[in-house]
């Protein structure tokens, strides 16, 4: 895991769309509620918490704050180091995350109103998966 800032240089369009989403300030919602030390909340509000190649210590969170690219697309270190060599990428790295990725965090306990077909378009835009935006 690299953190979302590592994706910005090569994917500026996607990053711009991302910055307009609630995902881009998910860590602040924990801070505002005083839950930024609650290990039951951290994994859904940051990148790679307690995952292989991620981080485990709260003092390391700065690089991984917010719901970032790798929460949805998977660990990006191999992609960043070898962008043209898919064999070097993590097998968990995907272009179009399935609904099962979203419901890991957007589940009945934490997001009982979540509907994949309704919510997914809210995180898409030009340079970030929106077919309508790509056609314009």
Q: pLDDT digit string (tens) for 39-63?
A: 999 999 999 999 999 999 999 999 9
Q: Is the dihedral of CA 43, 48, 49, 52 positive or negative?
A: positive
Quote the pLDDT of residue 131: 54
Q: Provide DSSP, 18-71.
A: HTTSGGGGHHHHHHHTT-TT-HHHHHHHBSSBTSTTSB--GGGGGGGBSS-HHH
135 pLDDT higher than 50: no
Alpha carbon distance 90, 50 (integer Å): 17
Q: Kindly report, residue by residue over 93-103, the tens digit of the pLDDT.
A: 999 999 999 99
């Amino acid at each position: 895991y690299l953190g979302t800032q590592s994706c910005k240089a090569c994917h500026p369009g996607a990053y711009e769309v991302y910055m307009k989403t609630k995902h881009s300030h998910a860590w602040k919602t924990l801070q505002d509620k005083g839950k930024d030390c609650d290990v039951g909340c951290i994994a859904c509000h940051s990148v790679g918490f307690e995952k292989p190649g991620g981080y485990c210590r709260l003092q390391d969170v700065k690089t991984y704050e917010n719901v970032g690219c790798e929460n949805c697309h998977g660990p990006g270190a191999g992609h960043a180091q070898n962008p043209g060599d898919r064999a070097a990428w993590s097998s968990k790295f995907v272009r179009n995350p399935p609904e099962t990725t979203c419901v890991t965090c957007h589940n009945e306990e934490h997001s009982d109103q979540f509907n994949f077909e309704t919510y997914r378009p809210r995180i898409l835009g030009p340079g970030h998966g929106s077919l309508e935006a790509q056609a314009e």
